Homo-oligomer: A and B are copies of this chain.
Amino acid sequence: MEKWRTSRRLLSYSSKNLFDRQAYPNFENSNYLSGSGFTYHFGRICKPFKPVLHHKQNLPTYVYTLRDCINCLRSPLERFNGNTCRVQHRYFGSMATKTQRNPMFATINSDDISHFKEILGEKNVIQDEERLLTANTDWMGKYKGSSKLLLQPRSTEEVSQILKYCNSRCLAVVPQGGNTGLVGGSVPVFDEVIINLGSMNNIISFDKVSGILVCEAGCILENLVSFLDNEGFIMPLDLGAKGSCQIGGNVSTNAGGLRLVRYGSLHGNVLGLEAVLANGTMLDILGTLRKDNTGYDLKHLFIGSEGSLGIVTKVSILTPPKLSSVNLAFLACKDYFSCQNLLLEAKRKLGEILSAFEFLDGHSMDLVLNHLEGARNPLPPSMHKFYVLIETTGSDESYDKEKLEAFLLRSMEGGLISDGVLAQDINQASSFWRIREGIAEALTKAGAVYKYDLSLPVDKMYDLVEEMRIRLGPAAKVVGFGHIGDGNLHLNISIPQYDDAILAQIEPFVYEWTSKHRGSISAEHGLGLMKANKIYYSKSPETVQVMASIKKMLDPNRILNPYKVIPPSLIF
């Protein structure tokens, strides 16, 4: 009888459950805090925040500014002391990391400036302090370099000339796109020359039949999204930072984002690219073919290597057609095992239209209800242990809707779902997403929080949350949520205030646990400066050694984005 009532609820809710985000103009300005660390927003261009800087004895400290990427917040505490860059990762709980400036690198002189002005013209050689301050500082105000020079090339040839010269002079460089990275990869560590690709922002071609877009690296993701929207296509990746981040940066960091569960990673979607090597060689691997087995597929070396092997200057990317029908269900499961089985069934029964499968535990829901204004549980009062959001995106509204309804009914009858509702309209859908995406905000309101963004085998994922709960006892609230469909867990530990004794119980345990289960300590953000020395938690020494060899081969003077990705001790 209960089952029947539950099923009825699903069905009665579903009578008007279709919605199309694009169709609701009043939704265009909505910004929600994403559990993935990115803002899940609809349509509006999102500008990066400007850090608030307080100069004191020329050593700036940072006032933390809460913004979109709240789930990935880290401590702004950062100090510069002569040639040592000391970074404390309080939010992420990592131990302090010391990096020494490599004395091999030359420092900029007036001849260098003159040479760059010859190549780029006066106005593209930036020495203005205010502009340099912005370019030296990362999106979160956590990392800051002290570069004296920002270059803005307008073509691949100019990038090539810059690198050729820097290589000959042993001047270190940092490639920069929208500077929205989260691991200190896109700003100088010391005085590296900043090469910003923002002026290379032309769309070169779009083939409507194949859906293949070719563009320069400096194209802002949001602009590509708008361009494709007019053509009836979408980008295969969607990030909260899309209003600022550039496609070259996305490719260089192998950005993940919200569409990965459906369209896969950039390694599958990027068909080709053009990159400039450290010595200025222009590498044209800008293929526009889905099939090409002529030699080693070198483009993959530049996808996710965070600008340390070459500067990506152009990209060719396969874009999927835009589909119009979107549905969203908010469901309760009695245990994590049911969540896993529901995922399995959803892949099988909804496989071709499944576009999101997110989960949160009861503790996360509790936090949201207690700390997030206006949030309410869409399901009746009783708390459940787990909640799941299933989103489908397809080409035909009525068929997709019926398919989802039938699936939910079967899953409920089979006991995989304890309860559930289908969004009737865009407002209901947004209130469902608000719960999942509001967890991070609720956590910060609840007090201090240690945050970890991990990839783990789906069946092991929640074990870590439970082990951590036992390990820390009642002193901390341990919550787990994330992209279960991608195997990406957001493990968050909420405590009234930061406590080094608790941190010592969390780390290195969390990294060791992740490593033991062959997980990744960086699911989607990369290593950058922050985690370069933590690479061994996810990669074997032999593998890191091969990476270092490739780095040395392609960049013998190590001028490209030094101190990042690979442990500096291996390559200097």
Contact = CB atoms under 8 A, between A and B. Distances in A.
Contacts of A282: 542
A71 to B, nearest CB: 15
A289 B519 contact: yes
A395 interface: yes
A289 B531 CA distance: 19
Contact of A293 (B253, B487, B546): B253
A254 B348 contact: no
B290 A297 contact: no
Contact of A285 (B211, B523, B543): B543
A122 interface: no
A145 to B, nearest CB: 22
Contacts of A268: 264-265, 267-269
A208 interface: yes
Interface string A258-298: 00110011011100000001000111111111111111111
Contacts of A212: 457
Contact of A520 (B283, B286, B294): B294
Nearest to A341: B209
A321 interface: yes
A209 B337 CA distance: 10
Interface residues of A, number: 99
A395 B547 contact: no
A52 interface: no
A544 B283 CA distance: 10
Contacts of A488: 290-291
Contacts of A554: 546
Interface string A197-228: 00000000001111110000000000000000
A486 interface: yes
Interface stretch (A14-22, A26-34, A299-307, A326-334): A299-307
A323 B349 CA distance: 8
26 contacts: A207-B458, A208-B344, A209-B344, A261-B290, A265-B290, A267-B267, A267-B300, A283-B543, A285-B539, A289-B523, A292-B538, A293-B526, A294-B520, A294-B526, A294-B527, A294-B531, A294-B537, A294-B538, A295-B305, A295-B527, A296-B565, A298-B546, A300-B301, A321-B351, A349-B396, A352-B353
A449 interface: no
Contacts of A347: 211, 320-321
A340 interface: yes
A122 to B, nearest CB: 31
Given A291-B256, A520-B289, A543-B285, A304 B309 contact: no
A152 B389 CA distance: 49
A518 interface: yes
Interface string A527-541: 100010001011110
Interface in A467-485: none
Contacts of A340: 209
Given A288-B457, A539-B295, A542-B281, A350 B395 contact: yes
A415 interface: no
A457 B271 CA distance: 12
Nearest to A292: B520
A511 to B, nearest CB: 11
A322 interface: yes
A447 interface: no
A459 B522 contact: no
The 6 closest A-B pairs by CB, nearest first: A268-B268, A300-B300, A352-B352, A292-B520, A321-B348, A294-B538
A309 B284 CA distance: 22
A212 B459 CA distance: 11
Contact of A295 (B303, B459, B566): B566
A455 B291 contact: yes
A521 interface: yes
A550 interface: yes
A84 B284 CA distance: 34
A528 to B, nearest CB: 10
A553 interface: yes
Nearest to A316: B518
Which of A209, A343, A553: most chain B CB closer than 10 A? A209
Interface in A374-407: 394-396, 399, 402-403, 406
Given A321-B347, A321-B351, 14 more contacts: A209-B341, A209-B458, A254-B297, A267-B268, A287-B518, A287-B520, A289-B455, A289-B519, A289-B523, A293-B522, A295-B538, A296-B305, A321-B348, A399-B403
A549 interface: yes
A292 B453 CA distance: 11
A546 B301 CA distance: 11
A44 B568 CA distance: 54
Contacts of A298: 543, 546-547
A524 interface: yes
A281 B546 CA distance: 10
Contacts of A261: 290
A290 B455 contact: yes
A294 B348 contact: no
A344 B458 CA distance: 36
A348 B395 contact: yes
A261 B320 CA distance: 12
Contacts of A456: 289
